[in-house]
């Protein structure tokens, strides 16, 4: 049973459909990367997968259940969102943010107590950011902030993770750190779907790749098979070459 699946899904706003014919199954332990140029509708696709906006047509399934039959709380218990790390007007500490992951499992009138705090600290420990617990989020680097949001998704204790451009606007070291964290989460049994516009990064990180642009879904499959020079040239509308290093890494140029 896949954690998250799309069946002949079309996404868009109102009458304006951005992507049609999305079909995938996200299994535990797998990383699926949605790759495409800006404006292809990746963010709209992810908001639909999270049940934040209705599908134009087709279905999103969480386990066996169509997402539109589940409450916000039921969705959050199975599917966690790692948003882009944007600035917040208030100076929350990293731990305040990670604790919020407990919302899906706490009663309406409850506040996080000892077990939730322990869970949050464990999630930060897993990602190597326990020493940032009392740090002001606004003072952290982009990569650290992204790790805090990933820790919050872990504290939410959902099997599937949706990450919107988790490495966008990160420098090289931060990008590598976040990439390694994502890989470890998948190895620990999470299913991860993320978006990217960097082919090298997608190839290094993902088990499967879904190529989308304004024309729609181009291809879906294992990264080395789908990410051919021809496919990527079609995807971005410019000539792109591919080389493979001795250790099997793919580079696009």
Partner 1 sequence: MGRDPMPPLSRRCWVTERSLLPLLLPGLAAAVLLGVALGPYGLPPGRILAILGGDRSDPQAVTVLLNIRMPRVLAAALVGAALAAAGAAYQTVFRNPLVSPDILGVSAGAGFGAVLGILLGLPVMAIQMLGFGTGLATVGLVLALSLALRGTGQVLVMVLCGIAVGALAGAGIALVKLLADPEQQLPAITFWLMGSLAGIKRPDIAALPAVLAGLLPLLALRWRIGLLAMGEDEARAMGIPAGRLRLLVIACATLMTAAAVAMAGVIGWVGLMVPHTARLLTGPRFDRLLPASVLIGAGFMVLVDTAARNIAQIEVPLGILTAVLGAPIFVGLLARGARGWSE
- The contact set with partner 1 (CB under 8 A) reads 47, 50, 52, 71-73, 75-77, 80-81, 83, 87-93, 96, 100-101, 103-104, 106, 108-112, 128-129, 131-132, 134-141, 144, 152, 156, 173, 177
Residue 98's contacts (CB-CB under 8 Å, 6 or more residues apart) are: 120, 123, 124, 148, 151, 152, 155
Shortest Cβ distance from residue 245 to partner 1 (Å)? 26
Q: In this complex, which beta carbon is closest to partner 1, that of residue 93 or of residue 233?
A: 93
Distant-in-sequence contacts of 63-69, Cβ < 8 A, 24+ apart: 63/1, 63/2, 63/3, 64/1
CA distance 245 to 237: 25
Q: In this complex, which beta carbon is closest to partner 1, that of residue 93 or of residue 228?
A: 93
Q: In this complex, which beta carbon is closest to partner 1, that of residue 33 or of residue 98?
A: 98
Shortest Cβ distance from residue 91 to partner 1 (Å)? 5
Q: Where does residue 129 rank: exposed (0-12), middle (13-18), buried (19+ CB within 10 A)?
A: buried
Q: In this complex, which beta carbon is closest to partner 1, that of residue 94 or of residue 202?
A: 94
Q: In this complex, which beta carbon is closest to partner 1, that of residue 156 or of residue 231?
A: 156
Q: How many CA atoms lie within 13 A of 10 on its CB side?
A: 11
Q: In this complex, which beta carbon is closest to partner 1, that of residue 14 or of residue 248?
A: 14
For the residues of 14-34, what is the DSSP string, one character each? TTEEEEEEEEEEE-TT-EEEE
Q: Which two tokens stand for residue 161?
A: 């993770």
Q: What is the DSSP letter of 93?
A: B
β-strand 57-62 against 31-35: which pairing, if any?
unpaired
Shortest Cβ distance from residue 103 to partner 1 (Å)? 5
Q: Report which of 179, 159, 162 is spatially closest to residue 170, judged by C-alpha positions.
A: 179
Shortest Cβ distance from residue 46 to partner 1 (Å)? 10
Q: In this complex, which beta carbon is closest to partner 1, that of residue 3 or of residue 226?
A: 3
Shortest Cβ distance from residue 253 to partner 1 (Å)? 28
Angle at CA of residue 129, ends 123 and 134, nearest 5°: 95
Shortest Cβ distance from residue 186 to partner 1 (Å)? 20
Shortest Cβ distance from residue 84 to partner 1 (Å)? 10
């Amino acid at each position: 049973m896949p954690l998250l699946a799309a069946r002949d899904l079309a996404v868009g706003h109102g009458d304006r459909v951005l992507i049609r014919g999305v079909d995938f199954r996200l299994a535990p332990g797998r990383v699926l990367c949605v790759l495409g140029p800006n404006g292809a509708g990746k963010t709209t696709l992810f908001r639909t997968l999270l049940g934040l906006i209705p599908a134009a047509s087709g279905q999103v399934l969480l386990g066996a259940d169509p997402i539109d039959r589940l409450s916000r709380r039921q969705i959050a218990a199975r599917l966690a969102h790692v948003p882009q790390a944007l600035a917040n007007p208030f100076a929350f500490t990293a731990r305040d943010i990670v604790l919020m992951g407990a919302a899906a499992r706490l009663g309406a009138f409850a506040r996080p107590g000892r077990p939730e705090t322990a869970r949050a600290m464990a999630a930060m420990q897993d990602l190597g950011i326990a020493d940032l617990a009392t740090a002001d989020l606004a003072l952290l680097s982009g990569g650290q902030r992204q790790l805090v949001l990933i820790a919050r998704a872990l504290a939410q204790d959902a099997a599937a993770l949706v990450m919107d451009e988790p490495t966008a606007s990160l420098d090289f070291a931060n990008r590598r750190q976040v990439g390694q964290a994502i890989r470890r989460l998948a190895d620990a049994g999470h299913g991860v779907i993320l978006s990217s516009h960097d082919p090298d990064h997608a190839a290094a990180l993902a088990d499967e790749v879904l190529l989308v642009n304004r024309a729609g879904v181009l291809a879906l499959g294992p990264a080395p098979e789908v990410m051919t020079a021809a496919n990527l040239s079609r995807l971005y509308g410019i000539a792109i070459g591919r080389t493979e290093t001795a250790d099997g890494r793919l580079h696009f140029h």
